[in-house]
Amino acid sequence: MEMINESNRTKKKRQIQYMVCYLDILGFSGWYSKTNKRILNDAINEVINGFKSNRKEFLDMLYKDSKDVDRISYEYKPEDEQYIKMLLQKTKIVFLSDSIIISVPILYKNTKISHFPLFSTLIFTKIIVSDIAHKIMRNMNLFIRGAIAYGNDYSFLPIEEEYGNVIQSKVLINAVKIEKNAIYPRVVIDDTLFNKVYNINDNWVLQFLENNLFTDFDCKKCLNLYSGYDNTETKEFKNIIENSLQLCLSKKNKIDSRVLEKILYLVRFHNIKAKSKQLKIDVDKIFIENYKIENQNKFKKKYDYLWKTILKED
């Protein structure tokens, strides 16, 4: 496994740790069977191009929310640019049917930008994940579910061209397990990673975490994919979620209760994060009793909980 010098002073070596995100595109199979494949290629190309342009966004995001005058007035140095360039070079994004795997190395460099390596890497990963989620929503009208974990057991091994690549990783296995338990369209953060970042004693770090992460109703720690949105973008995604809800409820046969549950979660999430009443989705128009739903009685219990404790939450 690759080794890295932590600093010139200590000359100590440590195994490179990786932040690994596993994403599942929900509803991809049905969408793929009905859609022109060029739309998929366009969506993937847009994601890749966005990834390449994330350098400036990453630099800006590190400082724009900070009230620390010293950090705001700090000008990017060549070593910061080199740090971002190295992150971009070493980050891997793998598309596998309805799954996306993102691996970002946690680099220990003597620059102000990477003063808290785990935190800086989480910012970078968050930017990439948000960008992918938004482009999938816009281009495919689909939503993602995912998880982020970290550790030093990750190997991305390119072999001979005709055989492709090999990924070996306990970190990825952990991320997949967390994703399967996420249930709803959200990106859950491994508890160990979340606690370690929150233990960083720095007001700047804590302020960023408050704006970009949140604890969900079931105590799972998640990325806030709405952070940084203006009203135009919020309205755009309001329309996408409303259209998905209407499409789900318009099914002539029985409605898939698992799909409906996920969309209702998105309605709840959107209404909590929307900045004004005009941007919220009107949930009072939803009367589940008027629809034929698979496993009606079982879903009714879940719906009652969603309605009483989640959808009505402001």
Question: Do 178 and 251 fall within a single domain?
Answer: no
| Domain CATH code at residue 152 | 3.30.70.1230
Q: 223, 255, 277: which is the final residue of a domain?
A: 223
Domain that holds residue 284: 231-311
Question: Do 213 and 235 fall within a single domain?
Answer: no
Q: What is the pLDDT of residues 147-179, one digit of tens each?
A: 999 988 667 655 555 555 667 788 899 999 999
Number of Cβ within a 10 Å radius of residue 53: 10
Residue with tokens 């970009």: 212
Name the domain count of the chain.
2
Question: Do 138 and 246 fall within a single domain?
Answer: no
Question: Do 8 and 50 fall within a single domain?
Answer: yes
Question: Do 303 and 252 fall within a single domain?
Answer: yes
Question: Do 180 and 85 fall within a single domain?
Answer: yes
Question: Do 40 and 149 fall within a single domain?
Answer: yes
Residue with tokens 């989640």: 310
Q: Which helix (H) or strand (E) holds 255?
A: none
* Residue 164 backbone class (left: φ over 0; alpha: ψ -120 to 50; beta: rest): left
Q: 165, 191, 223: which is the final residue of a domain?
A: 223
Question: Do 197 and 287 fall within a single domain?
Answer: no
Decide if 135 contacts 144 (C-beta within 8 A). no
Question: Do 52 and 139 fall within a single domain?
Answer: yes
| 3 DSSP β-pair partners | 15
How remote is the C-alpha of 297 from its chain's centroid? Answer: 33
* pLDDT tens digit at each of 314 positions of the chain: 333 343 444 444 556 788 999 999 999 888 888 877 777 778 778 777 766 665 556 556 555 544 443 444 445 566 766 777 788 788 888 888 899 999 998 887 666 566 688 888 898 899 889 888 988 888 888 999 999 999 886 676 555 555 556 677 888 999 999 999 999 999 999 999 999 998 888 887 888 888 889 999 889 999 998 887 778 888 999 999 999 988 888 876 777 878 888 998 898 889 888 877 788 887 665 666 666 777 666 666 666 666 555 555 54
The predicted structure's pLDDT at residue 95: 86
Q: What is the pLDDT of residues 206-217, one digit of tens each?
A: 888 888 899 998
Question: Do 214 and 253 fall within a single domain?
Answer: no
Single-letter residue type at 161: E
Strands (E), the chain: 3-5, 13-15, 17-26, 92-96, 99-106, 143-151, 154-158, 165-169, 187-189, 213-215, 221-223
Residue with tokens 């680099």: 107
Burial state string for 243-278 with b = 16 or more CB within 10 A and e = fewer than 16 = ebbeebbeeeeebbbebbbbbbbbbbbbbbbbeeee
